[in-house]
Amino acid sequence: MIIRVPELSEEVRHVDFQEPAAAVNEVLASSPRLADQRLADDVAIDAELYRHGSDVYFSGRLEGQVHCTCTRCLDEFEWSLARDFKFLIVKAGLSDSPEDDTGVDHYSGDELDLGPLVREQTVLAMESSVLCSDDCKGLCAGCGANLNSDPCTCEK
C-alpha cells in the first residue's frame, strides 16, 4: 500500500488493507529455514497511521493463514499467523537515529510504501520449526510410518 505522506496529518487514520500472499511467499521460498511454509491467502492488515512533523507513525496487527509441513511427520496443515507491529518512519537525512534501530525505518520523497514493512513483519512472525501438534509422534525411523495415524511395521 502506497501512502502519500503530505496527505497524512496528526489525526489518526485507520487503514485496512491486504498484502498479497505472492509477495511474501517469494521471500519465504528464498529462505532455507522457511521454504516449507507459505501463505494460504493474502495477509490482512488492520493499522493506524499519523504524521507528526515529518515523522510517520505506523502501528497495527497483521493476520493470515500459513500452509506448511510438519517437521516431524511431514503432514501438511495450516496455522494462524498474527503479529502486532509498531514503526516510527522518519524522513531520510532528517534523523539522528541509526539505520538499524528496531522499529525505525526511513522514507524519502512524498510516498511511503508500507508493503516492505508488512512483508518483513510477516516473515518475522513465521515459526522456524512447526509441528502439526505438540504431541506429534513423527515418522518411524525404520519403516517410515506416520506414527500419528499408522502402526509401526518394523520387526521388534
Identify whether 134 is part of a domain: no
Identify whether 13 is part of a domain: yes
**Surface-to-core class of residue 151, CB atoms within 10 Å of its CB (0-12 exposed, 13-18 middle, 19+ buried):** exposed
Torsion, Cα 21 22 23 25, to 10 degrees, reads 80
- Overall number of domains in the chain: 1
Q: How many angstroms separate the CA atoms of 50 and 10, rounded?
A: 5
pLDDT of amino acid 21 = 96
Identify whether 119 is part of a domain: yes
pLDDT of amino acid 31 = 87
Identify whether 34 is part of a domain: yes
Q: Residue 6 pLDDT more than 70?
A: yes
pLDDT of amino acid 129 = 82
Identify whether 149 is part of a domain: no
pLDDT of amino acid 122 = 95
Q: Is the pTM of this model over 0.85?
A: no
Q: Residue 35 pLDDT more than 70?
A: yes
Residues in the chain: 156
Half-sphere exposure of 9 (CA within 13 A, CB side): 1
Q: How many angstroms separate the CA atoms of 130 and 36, rounded?
A: 10
Identify whether 21 is part of a domain: yes
Encode pLDDT of 78-104 as tens digits. Answer: 999 999 999 999 988 765 555 555 678
Domain that includes residue 66, residue range: 2-124
pLDDT of amino acid 99 = 52
Identify whether 58 is part of a domain: yes
Encode pLDDT of 105-150 as tens digits. Answer: 889 889 999 999 999 999 999 988 889 999 999 999 999 999 999 9
Please report which confidence band the pLDDT of residue 25 belongs to, taking 50, 70 and 90 as the band edges: very high
Encode pLDDT of 38-74 as tens digits. Answer: 999 999 999 999 999 999 999 999 999 999 999 999 9
Identify whether 32 is part of a domain: yes
pLDDT of amino acid 87 = 94
